[in-house]
């Protein structure tokens, strides 16, 4: 299943400039989501990070992955209309910097779930297949 930006906004509450997922390319509700983020020079954060050498902040890469995971978990029938909150980050590793012109593939697999709490295994890769960040994320649905 694929989703447009408009369809993503029907599932998660994020809006510009904080919506960091452009499309969902693959979706298995409650199991996995694969999103895309086209990084452009006009992103608001590049004005200050860093003006002479624009680099996407790692924390925003993590947020893009979290939003992708939220689409996966909130697409489950019993979670529709709810919000997924960030509960924690484990084992985050930043491997390659992200710059304007990069296209990130954001992959999140839900590996554990107990009640409203779950864990997602996340990885982002650039258009060359190089890993930019990996992490495990805890979420809470409310």
What is the distance in angstroms between the CA of the first residue and the CA of the last residue of the chain?
Answer: 25
Backbone angles phi, psi at 87, to 5 degrees: -110, -25
Dump strand ranges (E) for the chain. Answer: 23-28, 32-38, 84-94, 103-114, 117-125, 131-141
User: Which of 14, 16, 42, 49 does the annotation list as catalytic?
Assistant: 49
Question: 122 near 108, Cβ under 8 Å?
Answer: yes
Active site residue 128: no
Angle made by CA atoms 119, 7, 79, in degrees to the nearest 5: 40
Closest by CA to 141, choosing from 63, 59, 62, 77, is 77
Active-site residue set = 49
């Amino acid at each position: 299943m694929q989703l447009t930006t408009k369809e993503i906004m029907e599932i998660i509450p994020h809006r510009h400039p904080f919506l960091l997922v452009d499309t969902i390319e693959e979706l298995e509700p409650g199991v996995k989501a694969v999103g895309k983020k086209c990084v452009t020079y006009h992103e608001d954060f590049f004005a200050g990070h860093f003006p002479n050498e624009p680099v996407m902040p790692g924390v925003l890469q993590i947020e893009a992955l979290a939003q992708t995971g939220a689409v996966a978990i909130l697409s489950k029938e019993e979670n529709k209309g709810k919000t997924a909150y960030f509960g924690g980050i484990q084992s985050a590793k930043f491997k390659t910097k992200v710059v304007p012109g990069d296209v990130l593939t954001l992959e999140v697999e839900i590996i554990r779930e107990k009640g409203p709490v779950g864990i997602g295994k996340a990885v982002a890769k650039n258009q060359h297949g190089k890993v930019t960040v990996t992490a495990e994320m805890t979420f809470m649905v409310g």
